[in-house]
Amino acid sequence: MQNEELGSTKHHSIVFRAALILFGVGMLVFFSWLASVIVTESTDGDAATINISGSLRMQAYRIATVLAAPNVDLNKLEAETASFEARLNSPVLTQYIRIAGDHNELTPAYQNVTSLWNNKMRPLLDPASVQIDENRQAFLALVDDFVNDVDQVVLLIQNKAEDKITLLRAVGGISMFGVVIVMVIAMYGLRLTIVAPLNDLVLAAEKIRKGDMSARVTYKGDDELGLLGESFNLMTDELSRLYDDLEQRVVTKTRKLTQANNALALVYDITQRLSYEQHPESQFTKILAQLETATSLRDIQLCIEKPSIKNALLITTSEQSGISSSCDSLLRCDTCDTCEEKPDGSGSREFHYFPIRDNEKRYGTLQASTANGIEAWERRLMETVAESFATRLRLSTHTEQQRRIVLMEERTVIARELHDSLAQALSYLKIQVTLFKNLWRNDAPAEKTEAVLDELSNGLNSAYRQLRELLTTFRLTTDGSGLEPTLRSTVEEFNRKGVFTATLDYSLSQQALSPNEEVNVIQIVREALSNAFHHSQADQVTISLFDNNQDKILVQVRDNGIGIKDNPGKTAHYGLAIMQDRAESLKGRVTVSRIEPTGTCVELEFAPQAFAELKTLSG
């Protein structure tokens, strides 16, 4: 089809028109040149003819001069006459007259001159006639008329030459006028067929450059510019279609990105709600309402399994429906990843079920309905929210288990502490009471009875003191504040008694101790402070805790008192035994040494369980 269009433009081609214009101008120039050549050729010999015809007058006067002399020189007269006749009958002049034609007035004028010469003047110049004076006078009388006739011939020849020049000028003027006319027509045609279409094309291209895809070329023609304009319009239509398609795709992509961004923001907000709320169950209703607002899904419900009560907790967007004995979504979404169904009587609505589960167990189901089908991004959003619910429920279950484990550990520690301290003291007191009964029944000496009573008194005091220490320790360790705050509270407690000033240097890393390790460390420190309070007579006590060689913890209680005796008494011996027992439970050791010049240092060194686990994992 394009070849046919190109073929149809050959006869209307701009190149063809330009060639036609150049051909017309060339033909005008050619004809002007040809006319000039013809006229110039026709004027060839005009000057010689004028010279020859003009010389006839001079020659006539020269003959008259010879005749007017007193003595006529016949030889000279004959020569002048021959010269005159040669000029009169010159081929140049006779040919010129012949070319002029019989109808030209030059021919009769020339014939008059030749007739006058041949019939009247030439006979008078014969040698015999010249001798006669009347003949000479008659010749001289004819000279003026003859010269007038010759002047007439010369004038006619001159007029004819001027006419030729005028014709040449007219031909040149006509040619120039024709060229101007052709150029004007050509310029007007070029303006209509080239300049205007090009301006239209440039204007349309400029509009398109500015984004106006409705611009079109209005020029219609059978030439190249018409074909170019048609091609330009077709290209613009295609570009407009592509631009509209691209714009639509951009709108679609923008809408999808907006949806994805809103979905991500919603997922982030839901994750924040589930992660940082202490009781995330209170946020479930708000989360379901957010999902209904952000999507086309309706009747969104959350069904959470409660194995402990063999029922399910059904939560909707309007209210927490509480415990439900039946939750159909749990049965429909037992094994599949996502389930869809269209129950009878539901019209065009579809129900979608998203399981809330992880690799370990199933926690429930997220249910929603829609009238026009669910989109891909909505499906992904619901699946992500279901995963977030599963993660939070798993964390809640894990946290609950951890709390139970911690509670059991704390109970175990309390039981161990009661058994290792108060229970042993009570057992000792029971033995002393049995001994006292035996002594009393056997009327034992008073010294022995008093000794047993002193042991009972000291044992009761020690048991009471241990009970108070345990109550204080348990109160400090069960408030969840950690080891460092508990030790600072202990330091403040002993400082309030006013016997010495205690300071704490806590330089442990962030490695956490188990509850059992914290209780034993606190008890050993309190036992050391209690010994310093009762026996050291110190005014400064320093408690230091720091890492030793990156795998053990070192606890030191240093005072500036009188120092421990080489053989400590029973009271101090009991305290040392208790600290040693606690150190062994930590798989560590306790050493008590004197500080020179004065003072005592109680040092506990043990490897915490967390360090050992970390070393096992790294090695």
Q: Which of 537, 532, 573 lies closest to 556 in space, CA to CA?
A: 532
| Residue 501 pLDDT > 60 | yes
pLDDT at residue 603 above 80?
Answer: yes
Closest Cα to residue 358, out of 313, 393, 382?
393
The residue with tokens 């500015």 is 210
Q: Alpha carbon 347 to chain centroid distance?
A: 46
Q: Taking a C-beta distance cutoff of 8 angstroms, is the pair 273, 286 a contact?
A: yes
What is the per-residue pLDDT across 291-334, written as a single tens digit (0 to 9) for each? 888 888 888 888 877 655 455 566 766 555 554 544 555 555 55
Which residue from 531, 586, 529 is spatially nearest to 553, judged by alpha carbons?
586
What proportion of the chain, given as a percentage, has pLDDT over 90? Answer: 6
Q: What is the pLDDT of residue 559?
A: 94
Mean pLDDT of the chain: 77
- d(CA 63, CA 132) in angstroms, rounded, equals 16
473-482 tens-digit pLDDT: 666 554 556 7
Neighbour tally for 368: CB within 10 Å: 23
Question: Using N-to-C axis directions, what is the helix angle for 224-276 and 196-209, rounded to 10°?
Answer: 0
Q: Where are the beta strands (DSSP E) in 38-103?
A: none
Can you list the pairs that 185-189 forms with residues at least 24 positions away whose Cβ atoms lie under 8 Å?
186/21, 189/17, 189/21
Q: What is the pLDDT of residues 122-170, one digit of tens each?
A: 887 787 777 777 877 887 888 888 888 888 878 887 787 777 788 778 8
Q: Which of 402, 305, 313 is nearest to 357 (CA)?
A: 305
Listed in sequence order, the DSSP H helices in 508-558 are 515-531
Tell me the pairing of strands 540-548 and 501-507: parallel
Q: Which tokens hold the place of 446?
A: 């008073």
Domain boundaries, the chain: 10-198, 277-399, 479-619
Please list the alpha-helical segments (H only) found in 210-342: 224-276, 284-294, 328-332
Look at the block and give the residue holding tokens 């909505």: 378
- Average the pLDDT over each of 14-23, 120-129, 412-421, 604-613 and give the range with the smallest value: 412-421
Q: Which pLDDT score, from 0 to 100, does residue 342 have?
A: 58
Cβ neighbours, 10 Å, residue 130: 18
CATH number, span 10-198: 1.20.120.960
From the list 31, 138, 140, 48, the residue with the least C-alpha distance to 94 is 48
CATH code: domain 479-619 is 3.30.565.10
Give 378-419 as a 3 state SS string.
HHHHHHHHHHHHHHHHHHHHHHHHHHHHHHHHHHHHHHHHHH
User: Is domain 277-399 classified as CATH 3.30.450.40?
Assistant: yes
Torsion of CA 269, 272, 278, 280, to 10 degrees: 50
